[in-house]
Amino acid sequence: VFFVSSLFYDIEYSVSVLLFPVLVVNLLIFIFAANIILSVLFVYMRDIRHLWSVVIMMLFWVSGVIFAIDPNEDWRIGLFAYLTPIVGIISNSRAVLIYNEPIDWTLFMYDFGYALFFLAIALYIHKRYSGRVLEIL
């Protein structure tokens, strides 16, 4: 929708917009890992959906969807940006799509590391606990 509407408003893109699919892949890895963890946890704890809705709401308000988080402004904001896995993806997507700036590679590497770390944990949890899922269901 964004790219189609940008055709009507003469928005020009730089070469850095070609890196946007890499950011989407980073987000997809993180979402895939979260879904694997939640699918196994849901079998053992049915009330996880209520906790997950609180986590999603918290991530929405602290991830910079509504406001821009610049990790270069203040050391506390920078620390917060590097500790939250979604902030870098949103910040880099905003930089590439809206401001025609290159992505922050340090922040990207942290986020990609978080995504791979969560994926490794998710695969471990799935391998360890998915064998007993049919017994519990």
**Residues 80-108: pLDDT tens digits?**
767 788 888 988 998 898 888 899 898 89
Residue at 136 is within a domain:
no
- What percent of the chain stands above pLDDT 70? 88
Question: Would you state the structure tokens that stand for residue 48, as one six-digit string?
Answer: 């996880």
Residue at 5 is within a domain:
no
DSSP state of 132: G
Instruction: Give the domain range for residue 85.
Output: 16-131
pLDDT at 75 (0 to 100): 65
What is the H or E stretch that residue 135 is in? Answer: helix 133-136
Question: How many structural domains is the chain composed of?
Answer: 1
Q: Which amino acid is at 78?
A: G
Residue at 6 is within a domain:
no
Residue at 9 is within a domain:
no
| In the predicted structure, residue 116 carries a pLDDT above the cut 70 | yes
- What percent of the chain stands above pLDDT 90? 29
| In the predicted structure, residue 135 carries a pLDDT above the cut 70 | yes
Residue at 37 is within a domain:
yes
Residue at 49 is within a domain:
yes
First-last CA distance in the chain: 41
Residue at 123 is within a domain:
yes
Pick the residue with more confidence: 84 or 68? Answer: 84
Residue at 99 is within a domain:
yes
**Residues 23-53: pLDDT tens digits?**
999 999 999 999 999 888 888 888 888 888 8
What is the rounded CA–CA span in Å between residue 70 and residue 2? 23
Q: What is the pTM of this model?
A: 0.81
